[in-house]
Amino acid sequence: MDSLLQRAREAFGRWGSDASCAAPCGASWCCAAAATLAVALSVLLIFNDVGRGPDDDLGIAMVLSGLYPDSGQCPFTNALLNNALYGLNLAFPAINWTLLIERLSALVALFAAVFVLLRSVPPAVSLTVIGFLSFLIYPLCTVSANFTVVGALCVFSGEVLIAYAVYRGRPLPACAGIALAALGFMWRSSVFLLSLPFFLVALAVPVLSAARSRTAAGRKLVVRVGVSAALVLAVTGGLFLYNQAVWTAPELASWQQYSHARSQLCDYPVKPYDDIASELDELRVSENDYWCMTHWVTADPDFFTAERLQAVANVAAEDKGATMVRALKDEARALLSDRIALLAALVLVGVVVGLRGGRRAFGWLALSAVTCFAVCVYFRWTGRFPIRVEYPAWMFSLMPVIACFLALPPSPTLPPQSGRSAGKRNPCGRRGALAATVLGVAVLSLALGILTVWYGPTMNVRALEQFQQESQFADSRPLVTAFRDAGGVSVWDPLAFAFAEQELRYRSLPPRSFMEHTAFAGGWTTGSALKARHDEEIGVANPLRSLVERRDVRFVTSKRETIEHVRRYLEEHCGARVESFVDLEIPVDPQKPSGESKMLYAVSFHQIGAED
């Protein structure tokens, strides 16, 4: 047994023997390992009965799938990507191309990142970072299916590929990296901007020393860095300009203006009504109107115009002058409580980098962590900082330290060294390298083990139906059948529609037969021509006012408070007394630990009489 343990220790020591040079692994072995991990994780997390949300991915897929007439554009993703997805959905309508391309983007990005890490970064560091990506990032791309995190992973992998190509002088990985970064930019341009400071620092790490060396190799490296950075900025800049040009069309520009104003009231903290009552009176906005604006109920194009929403947003914006200290405390509290898994992962990365890379690499990691923490505090100060932004920010903070290892000259497999000569080449020491490698293996094993325990029992090959536009799974959902078979039109509270998304596992498209009876009382499609045409086609050009104008139109919500606010809105704007009647109660979300179920209420409104 002692002999076996000794041989294992020697094997680990040889695997990660030299801390000052990144010993390259065979390209074919790294490619096979990266592909195996990416495909296995994708199968585990995608073909699964678990779906989390809500986010906007299902809404994006609905818009780009053709469920709305003459759609084709989405304000969150790049116009070029929208055109491609919409064209594929129209040309091959059997497939949910939006979801399929999103899944493939995440898979390719994970493969690229794992390949570069295994190929050129010491095993201890590469395995730890792969564990970080597998456990914290990839589930957000698959189980939660969030396009923002998918874009972030594509950007991260693309930029790591570019750094690898720059330091190794290989043009093909650079082209692949630029393509991946551009794909991530198209999924979510803001995550590219979030990554940019860390990416530029990652490129600058070796350039500073190369510039001081004044050697021919140093000058070539500086040129490669400059060309790569220029190409990335040129490609993403071109995509940005194309998107801007497309959105100058009158219909799209008005939608963008409306969406921006609506978002300021729905997505960010606003002042209480009492603080701005006089200003709202001047705008002819009542307290109930203000409630509707801040709770996603704005589907009355005659009253909730872009101009009125923007005017209200201008006076309602919360004064952030005294909230920076609170934001600092909130971020620290979040890391120490709600984000404890993230904090633990970052600490493990720090320990491994410290053991394996020495003070220089650890210094870059610490500087990146401080910078990222400041970025997180800023986002909390703005009042909106979801996990889909926070986790990618910390992922990007790893880029400079990865660049430190990528920038090291590749070395052949070194013979075992001992004594002081080994100490000179390996400042961290053989014991530190061995401990770091063991820790890296443990981190990756633990991450994959936990994911397998969590999601292995719920794997289901029938989840393949999520890639179909019309599926038996979606068609048989209880909420889908209940509101489709009820006839008439259901005007959904956007917050309550999350329960329908939950039944669809946030990824399966609702059937067209369901959409023919469905309108929305608000949400990010409000203000768009595509929603207006859809509402006209199903006979509710003004969804809110149609609640009293047509007997077969009902309002669907999960909160009785919302019913009362909508009733008051109809009274104030229709000039008649309005009463509400709950026609249908449907229990939803029954898997609560307490055994209690939330309810969906289908409500009809009737005018009692005109006011004198």
Residues 113, 150: Cα–Cα separation, whole Å: 13
What was the pLDDT predicted at 413?
44
CA 9 to chain centre: 41
- Residue-wise pLDDT for 563-578, tens only, equals 999 999 999 998 889 9
Share of the chain above pLDDT 90, in %: 70
- Cβ–Cβ < 8 Å for 471, 508: yes
Tokens of 116: 């570069």
Confidence bin at 186 (pLDDT 50/70/90): very high
Per-position DSSP letters for 302-334, written without gaps between them: TTS-HHHHHHHHHHHB---TT-HHHHHHHHHHH
Residues 260, 555: Cα–Cα separation, whole Å: 26
Strands 553-557 and 489-492 come out as parallel
Cβ neighbours of residue 101 closer than 8 Å, sequence gap 6 or more: 84, 85, 88
Confidence bin at 27 (pLDDT 50/70/90): confident
- Nearest residue to 395 via CA among 170, 16, 606, 131: 131
- Residue-wise pLDDT for 378-391, tens only, equals 998 888 888 999 99
Amino acid identity of 468?
Answer: Q
User: With DSSP H G I counted as helix, E B as strand and the rest as coil, what are the percentages for the chain, rounded to 5?
Assistant: 65, 5, 25
- Residue-wise pLDDT for 61-74, tens only, equals 999 998 998 888 99
Average pLDDT over residues 245-258: 96
What was the pLDDT predicted at 187?
98
Confidence bin at 409 (pLDDT 50/70/90): low
What was the pLDDT predicted at 212?
67
What was the pLDDT predicted at 81?
98
Q: What are the E-state strand segments in 532-597?
A: 553-557, 576-588
Residues 242, 62: Cα–Cα separation, whole Å: 23
Write out the H or E segment, with its range, that includes residue 168: helix 147-168
Average pLDDT over residues 576-598: 78
- Residue-wise pLDDT for 103-141, tens only, equals 999 999 999 999 999 999 999 999 999 999 999 999 999
Residues 435, 311: Cα–Cα separation, whole Å: 60
What was the pLDDT predicted at 434?
85
Tokens of 600: 């969906």
Residues 605, 612: Cα–Cα separation, whole Å: 20
Residues 375, 189: Cα–Cα separation, whole Å: 17
Average pLDDT over residues 448-470: 93
- Nearest residue to 102 via CA among 138, 73, 68: 138
Q: Is 198 exposed, middle or buried (0-12, 13-18, 19+ CB in 10 A)?
A: buried
Average pLDDT over residues 75-80: 96
- Residue-wise pLDDT for 143-172, tens only, equals 988 999 999 999 999 999 999 998 888 889
The residue behind tokens 């969906």 is 600
The residue behind tokens 């790490």 is 205
Q: Is 5 exposed, middle or buried (0-12, 13-18, 19+ CB in 10 A)?
A: exposed
Residues 46, 219: Cα–Cα separation, whole Å: 46
Taking 60 as the threshold, does the pLDDT of residue 511 lie above it? yes
Taking 90 as the threshold, does the pLDDT of residue 12 lie above it? no
- Cβ–Cβ < 8 Å for 534, 66: no
Average pLDDT over residues 398-421: 64
What was the pLDDT predicted at 80?
98
What was the pLDDT predicted at 24?
52
- Residue-wise pLDDT for 488-505, tens only, equals 999 999 999 999 999 999
Residue scoring higher pLDDT (204 or 24): 204
Residue scoring higher pLDDT (555 or 386): 555
Residues 83, 246: Cα–Cα separation, whole Å: 10
Is-above-0.85 flag for pTM? Answer: yes
Tokens of 139: 């589930």
What was the pLDDT predicted at 576?
86
Number of CB atoms found within 10 A of residue 310's CB: 16
Share of the chain above pLDDT 70, in %: 88
Residue scoring higher pLDDT (411 or 89): 89
Cβ neighbours of residue 297 closer than 8 Å, sequence gap 6 or more: 493, 521, 522, 544, 562, 565, 566, 569
Whole-number average pLDDT of the chain: 88
Confidence bin at 321 (pLDDT 50/70/90): low
Q: What are the E-state strand segments in 526-569?
A: 553-557
- Nearest residue to 578 via CA among 601, 549, 608: 608
Taking 80 as the threshold, does the pLDDT of residue 214 lie above it? no
Per-position DSSP letters for 353-397, written without gaps between them: HHHHHHHHHHHHHHHHHHHHHHHHHHHHHHT---HHHHHHHHHHT
Confidence bin at 425 (pLDDT 50/70/90): very low
Residues 24, 169: Cα–Cα separation, whole Å: 15
- Nearest residue to 440 via CA among 1, 19, 7: 19
Taking 50 as the threshold, does the pLDDT of residue 180 lie above it? yes
Between CA 211 and CA 214, with CA 213 as vertex, the angle to 5 degrees is 70
Taking 90 as the threshold, does the pLDDT of residue 277 lie above it? yes
Query: In sequence order, what are the beta bridge partners of 578?
Result: 607
